[in-house]
């Protein structure tokens, strides 16, 4: 019996490589509950997008399984919406039609007016009403284009929304504004979300739980950190919450120190002041990782 809405069991992805085989990650085990917002953090190249592609059904795992609502994920589906860093809008359609196009395929029986109304509602949520919805992608700024992608993803109300560094290409100011919009939409819709980011502040602002991934190859999900800060969260205020910096320090310490140590199979101790401050689940498989004799792993160690 599956405990979580989304269940990831013993997942591994390996690619053929010059030296035989590249194990990007292995032994990934985690679950996501309905309505939960889970972020995954890890250094560039550790395998975050690879995991997401498997969850989306765009790539098949080498080992293990993904179940959503008790059904195995075996290919892409409108039940899972994906937003990538580089907005994939159809350039010849207006913002509105980029959304109506997706909404129509999701609910083919809907009337034209119903589709338009529904689509416009989501564009308004991301601040793209009042005429902006009629512009083509080439007439929109990078931030506005990414807003269209987000509106489109939420509009089809997928059972699971997958976001792969959706704000990675945006300047800090635009990024902040869209983060605020995302906070509002999430509070309103309770959409289930799995999001990749390497921005710890973004993760704390948005997530209910943050998964920490060790460096690759042989990356593992080492910890699951619960973000117990109350909702609604605001970017300007959240940093004054006494719970903010203990979590932030823990995440930064993971990224600068433990992500590397754990990837070599060394047991790194979590900082002492963290004990009891916020709930952390340590994945025992990550701690028990044997030292690798794989040439790729040694090459990494030598650097
Ligand atoms: N199709 C592929 N074939 C071979 N190697 C791949 C493929 N896709 C990803 N990789 C490798 O997997 C590792 C993780 O990549 P990726 O998931 O994109 O990392 P991240 O998203 O965490 O930055 C990288 O070393 C990358 O080169
Ligand atoms: Mg990536």
Tell me the pLDDT tens digit for each residue of 160-217. 999 999 988 888 898 999 999 999 999 999 999 999 998 999 999 999 999 999 998 9
The CA 121 to ligand 1 mean position distance, Å, reads: 36
Whether 133 and 241 share a structural domain:
no
- Are residues 102 and 17 located together in one domain of the fold? no
Q: Which of 157, 172, 193 is the last residue of a domain?
A: 157
pLDDT tens, position by position, 72-131 = 999 999 999 999 887 689 999 999 999 999 999 999 999 999 999 999 999 999 999 999
Q: Is 207 found in the same domain as 118?
A: no
**Does residue 295 or residue 287 have the better pLDDT?**
287
298 shares a domain with 173: yes
Q: 12 CA distance to ligand 2 centroid (A)?
A: 16
The confidence score (pLDDT) of residue 261 equals 86
Which residue, of 141, 157, 173, is where some domain finishes?
157
Residue 29 domain-assigned?
A: yes
Q: Which atom of ligand 1 is nearest to the CA of 47?
A: 17
Q: Of 103, 138, 157, which one is at a domain's C-terminal end?
A: 157
What the block records as the tokens of 94 is 């207006």
Residue 192 lies in a domain: yes
Claim to verify: residue 212 and residue 270 sit in the same structural domain: yes
In a domain, 84, yes or no: no
Q: How many domains does the chain have?
A: 2
CA dihedral 229, 6, 199, 263 (to 10 degrees): 110
Are residue 127 and residue 56 in the same domain, yes or no? Answer: no
Relative to beta strand 6-17, strand 63-68 is antiparallel
> For the domain that residue 242 is a member of, what is the CATH number?
3.40.50.300
Least confident of 1-15, 138-152, 199-213, 275-289: 275-289
Domain membership flag for residue 293: yes
| pLDDT at residue 168 in the model | 87
Query: Residue 242: what pLDDT?
Result: 95
In a domain, 1, yes or no: no
* Within-domain flag for 224: yes
pTM of the model: 0.88
- Is a pLDDT exceeding 90 seen at residue 279? no
Among 13, 23, 45, name the best residue to mutate to test ligand 1's pocket (greatest count of ligand atoms within 8 A of Cβ): 45
Nearest Cα neighbor of 229 from 220, 242, 212, 217 is 242
Residue nearest (by alpha carbon) to ligand 1 atom 2: 15
Residue 251 lies in a domain: yes
State yes or no: pLDDT of 275 exceeds 90: no
Residues 41-55 as b or e (16 or more Cβ within 10 Å = b): bbbeebbbbbbbbbb
| Predicted confidence (pLDDT) at residue 263 exceeds the cutoff of 90 | no
Question: Does residue 214 sit in helix, strand or coil?
Answer: coil
Nearest residue to 209 (alpha-carbon basis) of 260, 153, 279:
279
- Residues 181 and 271 occupy one common structural domain: yes
Residues by chain with Cβ below 5 Å of ion ligand 2: 49
Nearest CA to ligand 1 atom 20: 45
224 CA from centroid of ligand 2 (Å): 19
Domain co-membership, 153 together with 10:
no
Q: Whose CA is nearest to atom 8 of ligand 1?
A: 50
Query: In this predicted structure, what is the pLDDT of residue 260?
Result: 87
Q: Which residues have any ligand 1 atom within 6 Å of their CB? A: 15, 22, 24, 42, 44-50, 216
- Clarify whether residues 237 and 114 are in a common domain: no
Go through the chain and tell me how many residues it has. 303
Query: Cα(11)–Cα(297) distance, rounded to whole angstroms?
Result: 20
Helical H runs in 75-171?
95-106, 112-125, 142-155
**Shortest-distance ligand to the CA of residue 168:** 2
Q: Note down the domain range covering 280.
A: 6-79+159-302
Task: Kindly tell me if the per-residue pLDDT of 64 is higher than 80.
Answer: yes
Cα dist. 208→31, 66, 204, 224, 280 in Å?
A: 13, 21, 8, 10, 12
- Ligand 1 atom closest to the CA of 13, numbered from 1: 12
Same domain, 153 and 163: no
Say whether both 256 and 165 belong to one domain: yes
Claim to verify: residue 130 and residue 145 sit in the same structural domain: yes
Distance 156 CA to ligand 2 centre (A): 24
For residue 46, the ligand 1 atom closest to its alpha carbon is: 22
């Amino acid at each position: 019996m599956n405990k979580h809405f989304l269940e990831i069991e013993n997942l591994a992805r390996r690619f053929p490589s010059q030296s035989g085989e590249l194990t990007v990650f292995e032994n990934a085990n985690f679950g996501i509950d309905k309505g939960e917002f889970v972020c995954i953090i890890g250094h560039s190249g550790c395998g975050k997008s690879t995991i997401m592609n498997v969850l989306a059904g765009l790539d098949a795992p080498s080992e293990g399984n993904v179940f959503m609502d008790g059904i195995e994920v075996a290919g892409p589906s409108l039940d899972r919406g994906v937003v990538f860093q580089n907005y994939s809008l159809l350039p010849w359609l207006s913002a509105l039609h980029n959304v109506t196009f997706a909404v129509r395929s999701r609910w083919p029986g809907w009337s034209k007016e119903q589709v338009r109304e529904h689509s416009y509602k989501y564009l308004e949520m991301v601040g793209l009403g009042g005429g902006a919805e009629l512009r083509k992608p080439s007439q929109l700024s990078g931030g506005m284009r990414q807003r269209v992608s987000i509106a489109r993803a939420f509009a089809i109300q997928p059972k699971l929304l997958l976001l792969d560094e959706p704000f990675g290409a945006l300047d800090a100011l635009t990024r902040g504004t869209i983060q605020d919009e995302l906070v509002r939409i999430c509070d309103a819709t309770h959409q289930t979300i799995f999001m990749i980011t390497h921005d710890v502040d973004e993760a704390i602002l948005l997530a209910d739980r943050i998964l920490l991934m060790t460096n690759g190859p042989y990356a593992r999900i080492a910890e699951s950190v619960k973000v117990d800060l109350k909702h609604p969260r605001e970017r300007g205020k959240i940093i004054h919450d006494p719970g903010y910096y203990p979590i932030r320090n823990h995440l930064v310490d993971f990224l600068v120190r433990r992500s590397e140590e754990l990837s070599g199979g060394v047991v790194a101790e979590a900082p002492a002041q963290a004990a009891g401050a916020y709930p952390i689940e340590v994945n025992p498989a990550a701690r028990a990782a044997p030292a690798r004799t794989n040439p790729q792993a040694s090459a990494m160690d030598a650097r």
